[in-house]
């Protein structure tokens, strides 16, 4: 592909289920108590197209994220190193730290609430 080509963005969404509580909130806050979510995470990559016409093959991204999802799926997030206070923002940051090619991570706790962390 030409070096003068525009930058492309791709995204892939993954799901995991997990429990958590937010220990830094007041004990009267509902999220201070243990509860769970059906999380959705969207991983966004940016780059130039390779000789195959991809930023990356989605299967390669799947292989990269699978071990991370395994650490979180059906787990208590507070027990995962780096997620002792697992807000949606900090979960997004946790993924961004571990996915060097990602430029943006969006974490949905439900259909109406999400947090996003970006490198740019």
Catalytic annotation, pick one of 31, 32, 64, 116: 31
Is residue 111 a part of any domain in this protein? yes
Is residue 108 a part of any domain in this protein? yes
Q: What is the CATH number for 32?
A: 3.30.479.10
What are 27-78's pLDDT values in tens digits? 999 999 999 999 999 999 999 999 999 999 999 999 999 999 999 999 999 9
| The predicted structure's pLDDT at residue 3 | 66
Among this protein's residues, is 60 annotated catalytic? no
Catalytic annotation, pick one of 35, 60, 74, 84: 74
User: How far is residue 7's CA from residue 87's CA, in Å, rounded to a whole number?
Assistant: 31
Among this protein's residues, is 31 annotated catalytic? yes
Distances in Å between the alpha carbon of 39 and those of 53, 56, 66? 31, 24, 15
Is residue 106 a part of any domain in this protein? yes
Q: What is the model's pTM? A: 0.92
What are 70-108's pLDDT values in tens digits? 999 999 999 999 999 999 999 999 999 999 999 999 999
The parent domain of residue 106 ranges over 8-118
Is residue 12 a part of any domain in this protein? yes
| The predicted structure's pLDDT at residue 41 | 99
Is residue 3 a part of any domain in this protein? no
**Number of domains making up the chain:** 1
Among this protein's residues, is 32 annotated catalytic? no
At residue 4 the predicted structure's pLDDT band, cuts being 50, 70 and 90, is confident
């Amino acid at each position: 592909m030409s070096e003068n080509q525009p930058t492309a963005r791709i995204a892939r969404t993954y799901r995991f289920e997990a429990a958590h509580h937010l220990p830094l909130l007041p004990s009267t806050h509902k999220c201070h108590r243990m509860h769970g979510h059906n999380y959705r995470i969207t991983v966004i990559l940016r780059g130039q197209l390779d000789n195959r016409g991809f930023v990356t093959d989605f299967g390669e991204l799947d292989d990269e994220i699978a071990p991370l999802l395994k650490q979180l799926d059906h787990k208590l997030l507070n027990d995962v190193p780096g997620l002792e206070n697992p807000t949606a923002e900090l979960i997004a940051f946790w993924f961004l730290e571990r996915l060097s090619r990602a430029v943006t991570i969006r974490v949905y706790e439900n259909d109406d609430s999400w947090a996003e962390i970006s490198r740019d």
